[in-house]
Amino acid sequence: MLQPILHHLNSTRIVLASSSPRRKQILENINLKFDTAKSNFEENLDKSSFSSPSDYVRETAKQKTLEVVQRLFSIEESPELIIGADTVVTDGKNIFEKPKDKDHAVEMITSYCGRSHKVLTSVVLITPKSSKVFKGKEPLNEQLDITQFEEISEVFIPELPEEVVRSYVDTGESMDKAGGYGIQAIGGSLISGIQGDYFNVMGFPLHKFCVELRHIYQL
């Protein structure tokens, strides 16, 4: 979908503001060239202060990306595009991020069994309004164009014996993944179906990202 503008994109400096290997893999698979920069934003926003999981993940994604922008736009060669994202799992009320430990991962996955849950990702695309590097004296938002969107996928996990859940968590795959499982690997064997974007469940909604990027570049 990005083929008409891929040559242009790959002639610019793009930064993925994430250390997620899944997001990196998804973007590499479409032949996009980019650098990576881990966000140092401490993800400690008060969940209870947000009216919905969507509002929470949107603000977290924005703050994670802006932290990288603040650092990178103060150097000589500013990126022309910064891509940031955050993913959470929700049952409609509770917000699940990465598990704290194995018992927490088991608790998360067990709570999904026998019903569906939703994977929600917010993506932030930031481009400078000019080719100039970030100037500390000017408000950051006035120097940037910010595009942000969300994607929701519904995931179905059937009733599972506790030994199956614990055996999966013991593989170690749960610990760095929102919601405590990864659909692209062993965790895929726990899932009976999804409705929506598969890549969103991995942590990055690929199709919607391409649509939004084409809008930015007016194609």
Residues annotated as part of the active site: 86
**Between the CA of residue 180 and those of 13, 119, 120, 144, what are the distances in Å?**
33, 12, 14, 34
